[in-house]
Amino acid sequence: MTTPPAGAQLRLRGRWVAPGRPVVMAVVNRTPDSFYAAARFDDASADAAVARAVDEGADIVDLGGVRAGRGPRVEVADEIARVIPLVRRVRARHPDLVISVDTWRAEVARAAADEGADLVNDTWAGHDPTLMEVAAERGLGIVCSHTGGARPRTDPFRVEYPARDGGDPLDGVVEDVVRTVSAAARRAVSLGIDPASVLVDPTHDFGKNTWHSLHLVRRTEALVALGFPVLMALSRKDFVGESLDLPTEERLEGTLAATAVAAWLGARVFRTHDVRATRRTLDMVATIRGDRPPARTVRGLA
């Protein structure tokens, strides 16, 4: 069996992030209505959540202030009030930790940059076209995502991605994702962002049904071939739940299975609610691939 090539590594503000190994991005949501109840943190508990993620092996923390799905409207000022003080505290308490801010709004990204953020996780595919310009101006990395044209905080409904040349019907979503994120990545580079600081994310569930998301996992190599670090945000998502008919709180094993497949195929960064389990899964995959030696080898030798 041929091992797929390892994917591109990640560099932010001129510094390599977890060189030589997959990168764990911990989710810390400053929201009262996150789809996963265990990831809802108020101002008092968010600091402890960040510290715990670091202890469990996180390389990046991704701080968000607005639920991705439908819910009460959150104004820009409200999002800033939720996220920016947390960015400030995390930077002060964890000076070497990579800080990502999950936002589609340029105003939030600018405020986060002022407090020491390193990366903007734009999960809504450039809905605000000035967001990428802010990242370039402030020296931040950027996540280029795919939503199939969906607007922020909307759910997909009967979305279709026709395949070219009468091939596998599901290949249409891969083609659309590759076309969208590669165009966004080229724009980021043209604005002066380091190519190693430009992540591409197929953005499972966003603008997609479960068949689409499953196919994007098995076709991870198509994203890796673009030459940018690939981000996989798989954690406890609906495509996992629908595959196994499980509620959000019971989707860990399914998430880790998808994580292992994507890691084997060369994805680099994994956004997760479950840091310790994800870190161990990624280390095991890296060891099987031959990218990482076993921690110890005494069986049959001593």
Catalytic pick from 105, 208, 236, 237? Answer: 237
CA–CA distances in Å: residue 8 to residues 63, 168, 176, 266, 267: 24, 27, 21, 8, 8
What are the phi and psi torsion angles at 141 (to 5°)?
-80, 170
In 113-139, which positions are buried (b, 16+ CB within 10 angstroms) versus exposed (e)?
A: bebebbbbbbbbbbbbeebbbbbbebe
Tell me, yes or no, if 187 is annotated catalytic: no
Helices (DSSP H) in the chain: which residue ranges? 43-55, 76-93, 106-114, 130-138, 171-190, 210-218, 220-224, 238-244, 252-264, 275-289
Beta bridge partners of 144: 200
Catalytic pick from 30, 236, 268, 271? Answer: 271
Question: Which residues have C-beta within 8 Å of that of residue 118, sequence separation ≥ 6?
Answer: 12, 13, 60, 98, 99, 100, 140, 141
Tell me, yes or no, if 237 is annotated catalytic: yes
State the catalytic residues: 237, 271
